[in-house]
Structure 1
Amino acid sequence: MSDARDDKRRELRTYLIGYVGALVLTGAAFALVHWPVLASDTLFAIVLGLGLVQMVVQFRCFLHISLARSARDDLQLILFSALIVALMVGGTLVILFNLRERMM
């Protein structure tokens, strides 16, 4: 009985850590953009880095994907899906920019 209760507490704690982490990372990105104190290139790099860290937090805390051997299949599936989406978006952008150049 207490083992199930401990698992529930551990899971709730993981969700709470993920929620707070996501809020902090999102708030930091919004604050950096709202009050620009850095050059735009540096600001872009920092916001991009915060976005990548937020992806790691989302994967770890909400999707429960870790680097353990049992979760590697899930991680490979997500990486493959991300590759397919990146190829589709990249191909679409290439076509759109090509059409834009032809129209100008």
Structure 2
Amino acid sequence: MRGKNGILHGAYVPQEIKSEGLLKMDINQPLWEDVYIADLPDGKAPDWLGDESVHTGIRAAQEAINCKQDLLRCHAEHLNLCAWYRSEFTATKRACDLSSGVLVLFTMV
């Protein structure tokens, strides 16, 4: 379509939107590109929009950030589970000791 119907040869043309999978909410679909040719300076798309290697780099950087956040969440969840297990173990041990008639103060390190 470049060069026809008043569209410049160097103008950014959005990707073709395919009908299969159109209704799934995938953020990487071209449907979400909200760019108008008139909004682009000199009709040239910025690298984040027109260069596929930049797209890939942005997605990779975002995935690395998300992975780091997931690791922090997993670490926090691990600490919470350890604290919960420690308190449950202590309570169970104390209940067992009390039920056997022996009172022992037990602390887990």
TM norm. shorter chain > 0.5: no
- The structure with the larger Rg is 2
Q: Which has the higher helix share?
A: 1
Q: TM-score, normalised by structure 2?
A: 0.34
Q: TM-score, normalised by structure 1?
A: 0.36
